[in-house]
């Protein structure tokens, strides 16, 4: 084997190592350089834009990493062009209480709410039961179900007894926290 | 749209959509991990091939077969992760595999230079230890299904850590190697319990600080712009300080002492956000180290060799190893001599304590920085897992493990490059040494478990029980 070949292999190996390093960094870019700032108002405006954009270019997704940057592709059926219905709820926004302003994306099937750490939305105040309520994604839409909580779950001021459909932007109150579903 | 009724049509599409999500989404991170694992194995294969080519030694296929087996074990890890922790971080395992593989290649290269084969070869033993470490990591992943259970065993973890610290000091099983009493020898097996103590201590500190941090950070007198803790809250920090000084004095190991104490201070700072603790701790440690350097000849020698390594009185003695390592770095230059083409074996312990010098000589500055970048990425993942963790124990544990890892790298690389006095810690994943490998793979398993918990855990935690400001915010 000639010296030249070994030289090339040596530099090739160094390059290979750096390719790996930059591969990891590239895959992590959203973690390293931060994600889009999500604010309630900005998000709403952005989504209107996105809804318009998906009509022309369905493949375009917002900048983001593999962890949670882009919107789940499976949810795109909700934005089928031509759907006359109102946009289905995709996130839960906390409108009142100690964490007002926070929002989280709704999971696919159900979101449990309560004091226990296993809940999807953990609310630890003096009025919340450990398994307080849950939001269920029924074929007809999202419903709220009270799980026999001590202090109750209130949809638009009325106590929930049976699974009740949750319209968009209708306040649900649990303890000191109020949230609503938004598109 | 020719839909007769809107609702049922939408319902059907929502239902099928949900099914598609369930099938595809859990594997997303694992599918990201697979190509990186493959890439890591490829780089390791290239490194071993380059070592064989560079040294020109007659090809011995045994290591290749062993590495093939190890590659199979890595695939097993990947498959196990798909089952028990599908949402775990996808970069931790590939980085660990790559670092470990480069370490094995370099150890193999030094074996060739020293003419060691078979079971005498350090590379063979390293491969076996890696296999054991990976199996134990898999076992950890399977046994620890929820990291919160660990917090229940925090005082047990403290006890285990203290026993592990004391073990090398016991007569009969304790063994002194190169002046430091870090080893335990049981029959043919010898290991460094200090490496495992690191993990146990991180678990204990995380569990302890979650409960104790409020009294640590809120109460106390203000003095010179800092809030000084109460005397009764000072207890634990003094105990840990005493333990690490005991390590320093009895085991004569500055590096391990620095590691334990640094781990505690780092986690204390993360838990309380009080700089005064760190200042206090650093002052205590620097003071203790200075006193030790005056009183203990072993530490004093290390300081002298660090400050003046090229002194003719030292260069054949206490600073020989350090100076040979520095010459190795210099011989490597920017791009290195190439794997197998340098003389890293001149440095004593070139495969273990001085593996960074060996790698620096043969891969050069460019290669060494690639390795440091990988170590940095690993630490970054640990911090990221801690940052997005759902519960305080998990956050503290991830950050503590990451910080201990980073501190260990700093102490080793700083020692070899003469930034700080040389100490006897091992470079994580790279250096020859079974205990270190096992401990670090257990750290990998814990980080995987924590990151899986992060993705599955609560999205938002709202706390308003006692009226104080809520601590936990948005998770992943």
Summarised one tens digit per residue, pLDDT across range A86-113 is: 677 888 888 888 777 777 778 777 788 8
The CA-to-CA distance between both ends of chain B, in Å, stands at 38
Q: Do A14 and B364 touch (CB under 8 A)?
A: yes
CA distance B163 to B179: 21
Name the residue of chain A whose CA is nearest to B455's CA.
Answer: A67
CA distance B26 to B18: 13
- Contacts B15 to A, Cβ<8 Å: 139
pLDDT at B237 over 70: no
Query: CA dihedral defined by A119, A121, A122, A123, rounded to 10 degrees?
Result: -140
**Res A49: pLDDT:** 60
Question: How many beta carbons lie within 10 A of that of residue A2, not counting itself?
Answer: 7
Q: B402 falls in which pLDDT band (50, 70, 90)? A: very high
**Res A54: pLDDT:** 54
The strand pairing partners of A164, in sequence order, are A144
* pTM value > 0.80: no
**Res B271: pLDDT:** 85
Sequence-distant contacts of B70-76: CB under 8 A, at least 24 apart: B70/B127, B70/B130, B70/B131, B70/B134, B71/B41, B73/B131, B73/B134, B73/B135, B74/B37, B74/B41, B74/B134, B75/B37, B76/B134, B76/B138
Q: 3-state DSSP: chain A helix, strand, coil percent, rounded to 5?
A: 30, 25, 45
Query: CA dihedral defined by B339, B345, B346, B349, rounded to 10 degrees?
Result: 130
**Res B207: pLDDT:** 87
Q: Could you tell me which residue, B234 or B394, shows the higher pLDDT?
A: B394
Name the residue of chain A whose CA is nearest to B3's CA.
Answer: A83
Can you read off the two tokens belonging to residue B32? 């990201």
Tens digits of residue pLDDT in B276-335: 778 888 888 888 878 877 887 777 888 888 888 888 888 887 888 899 999 999 999 899
- With pLDDT > 70 as the criterion, what percentage of chain B qualifies? 82
How far does A87 lie from chain B, in Å, by closest CA? 12
CA distance B371 to A16: 12
Tens digits of residue pLDDT in B49-63: 999 888 887 777 888
pLDDT at B349 over 90: no
DSSP β-ladder status, A110-114 and A121-124: parallel
DSSP states along B99-154: HHHHHHHHHHHHHHHHT--GGGSHHHHHHHHHHHHHHHHHHHHHH-S-THHHHHTH
How far does B280 lie from chain A, in Å, by closest CA? 32
Q: Do A125 and B13 touch (CB under 8 A)?
A: no
Tens digits of residue pLDDT in B417-453: 999 888 878 899 999 888 899 999 999 999 999 988 7
The strand pairing partners of A165, in sequence order, are A143
pLDDT at B26 over 60: no
Of B60, B104, B90, B36, give the one whose Cα is nearest residue B358: B104
Burial class, A114, CB count within 10 angstroms (exposed 0-12 / middle 13-18 / buried 19+): buried
Burial class, A81, CB count within 10 angstroms (exposed 0-12 / middle 13-18 / buried 19+): exposed
The strand pairing partners of A111, in sequence order, are A135
Our CA angle for A35, A48, B2, nearest 5°, is 130
- Stretch A150-155: mean pLDDT, rounded? 90
Q: Do A24 and B461 touch (CB under 8 A)?
A: no
Q: Does the interface predicted TM-score (ipTM) exceed 0.90? A: no
Q: B25 falls in which pLDDT band (50, 70, 90)? A: very low
**Res B406: pLDDT:** 95
Nearest neighbour of B53 by CB, restricted to A6, A97, A118: A6
- Stretch B380-407: mean pLDDT, rounded? 88
Sequence-distant contacts of B322-330: CB under 8 A, at least 24 apart: B322/B416, B322/B418, B322/B422, B324/B348, B324/B354, B324/B357, B325/B354, B325/B357, B325/B416, B326/B357, B326/B417, B326/B418, B328/B354, B328/B357, B328/B358, B328/B360, B328/B361, B329/B357, B329/B360, B329/B361, B329/B417
- With pLDDT > 90 as the criterion, what percentage of chain B qualifies? 34
pLDDT at A175 over 60: yes
Tens digits of residue pLDDT in B84-126: 888 888 999 999 999 999 999 999 999 988 888 777 888 899 9
pLDDT at A42 over 70: no
Nearest neighbour of B474 by CB, restricted to A12, A102, A120: A102
Q: Do B459 and A24 touch (CB under 8 A)?
A: no
**Res B152: pLDDT:** 85
- Stretch A159-174: mean pLDDT, rounded? 90
**Res A48: pLDDT:** 59
Burial class, B9, CB count within 10 angstroms (exposed 0-12 / middle 13-18 / buried 19+): middle
Residues of B450-472 as b/e, b for ≥16 C-beta within 10 angstroms?
Answer: bbbbbbbbbbbbbbbeeeeeeeb
- Contacts A16 to B, Cβ<8 Å: 42-43, 46
Q: B11 falls in which pLDDT band (50, 70, 90)? A: very low
**What's the mean per-residue pLDDT of chain B?**
81
Residues of A137-174 as b/e, b for ≥16 C-beta within 10 angstroms?
Answer: beeebbbbbbeebeebbbbeeeebeeebebeeeeebbb
Nearest neighbour of B458 by CB, restricted to A75, A119, A176: A119
Which 8-state DSSP code applies to residue A71? P
Decide: B398 and B385 in contact? Cβ < 8 Å.
yes
Decide: B168 and B175 in contact? Cβ < 8 Å.
yes
How far does B462 lie from chain A, in Å, by closest CA? 5
Q: Could you tell me which residue, B230 or B92, shows the higher pLDDT?
A: B92
């Amino acid at each position: 084997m000639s010296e030249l070949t070994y030289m090339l292999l040596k530099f090739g190996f160094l390059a290979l190592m750096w390719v790996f390093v930059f591969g990891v960094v590239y895959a992590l870019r959203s973690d390293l350089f931060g994600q889009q700032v999500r604010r309630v108002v900005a998000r709403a405006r952005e989504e209107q834009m996105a809804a318009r954009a998906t009509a022309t270019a369905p493949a375009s997704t917002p900048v983001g990493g593999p962890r949670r940057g882009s919107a789940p592709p499976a949810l795109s059926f909700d934005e089928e062009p031509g759907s006359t219905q109102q946009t289905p709820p995709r996130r839960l926004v906390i409108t009142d209480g100690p964490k007002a302003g926070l929002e989280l994306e709704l999971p696919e099937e159900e979101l449990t709410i309560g004091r226990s750490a296993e809940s999807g939305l953990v609310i630890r105040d003096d009025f919340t039961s450990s398994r307080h309520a849950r939001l269920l994604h029924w074929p007809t839409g999202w419903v709220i179900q009270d799980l026999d909580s001590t202090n109750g779950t209130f949809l638009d001021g009325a106590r929930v007894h049976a699974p009740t459909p949750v319209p968009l932007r209708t306040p649900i109150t649990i303890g000191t926290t109020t949230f609503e579903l938004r598109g | 749209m020719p839909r007769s009724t809107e609702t049922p049509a939408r319902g059907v599409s929502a239902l099928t959509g949900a099914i598609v999500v369930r099938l595809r989404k859990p594997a997303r991170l694992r599918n990201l991990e697979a190509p990186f694992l493959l890439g890591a194995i490829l780089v390791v294969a290239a490194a071993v091939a380059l070592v064989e080519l560079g040294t020109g030694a007659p090809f011995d296929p045994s290591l290749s077969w062993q590495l093939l087996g190890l590659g199979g074990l890595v695939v097993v890890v990947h498959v196990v992760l798909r089952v028990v922790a599908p949402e775990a971080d996808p970069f931790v395992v590939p980085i660990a595999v790559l670092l470990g593989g480069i370490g094995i290649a370099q150890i193999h290269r030094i074996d060739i230079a020293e003419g060691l084969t078979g079971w005498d070869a350090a590379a063979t033993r390293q491969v076996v230890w890696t296999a054991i470490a990976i199996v134990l990591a898999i076992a950890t992943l399977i046994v620890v299904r929820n990291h919160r259970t660990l917090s229940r065993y925090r005082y047990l973890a403290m006890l285990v850590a203290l026993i592990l610290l004391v073990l090398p000091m016991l007569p009969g099983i304790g063994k002194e190697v190169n002046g430091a009493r870090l080893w335990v020898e049981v029959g043919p097996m010898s290991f460094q319990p200090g490496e495992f103590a690191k993990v146990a201590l991180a678990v204990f500190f995380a569990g302890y600080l979650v409960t104790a941090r409020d009294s640590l950070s809120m109460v106390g007198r203000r003095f010179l712009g800092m809030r000084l803790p109460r005397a009764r809250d000072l207890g634990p920090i003094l105990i840990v300080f005493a333990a690490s000084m005991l390590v320093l004095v009895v085991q004569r190991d500055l590096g391990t002492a620095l590691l334990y104490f640094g781990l505690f201070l780092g986690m204390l700072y993360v838990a309380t956000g009080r700089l005064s603790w760190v200042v206090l701790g650093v002052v205590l440690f620097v003071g203790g180290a200075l006193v030790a350097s005056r009183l203990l000849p072993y530490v004093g020698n290390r300081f002298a060799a660090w400050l003046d390594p090229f002194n003719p009185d030292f260069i054949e003695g206490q600073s020989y190893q350090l100076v040979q390592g520095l010459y190795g770095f210099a011989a490597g230059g920017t791009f290195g001599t190439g794997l197998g083409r340098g003389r890293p074996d001149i440095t004593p312990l070139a495969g273990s304590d001085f593996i960074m010098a060996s790698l620096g000589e043969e891969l050069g500055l460019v290669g060494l920085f690639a390795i440091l970048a990988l170590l940095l990425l690993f630490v970054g993942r640990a911090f990221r897992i801690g940052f997005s963790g759902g519960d305080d124990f998990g956050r503290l544990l991830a950050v503590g493990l990451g910080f201990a890892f980073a501190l260990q790298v700093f102490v080793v690389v700083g020692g070899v490059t003469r930034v700080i006095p040389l100490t006897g810690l091992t470079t994580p994943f790279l250096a020859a040494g079974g205990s270190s490998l096992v401990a670090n793979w257990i750290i990998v398993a814990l980080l995987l478990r924590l990151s899986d918990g992060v993705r599955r855990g609560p999205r938002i935690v709202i706390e308003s029980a006692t009226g104080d400001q809520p601590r936990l915010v948005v998770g992943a």
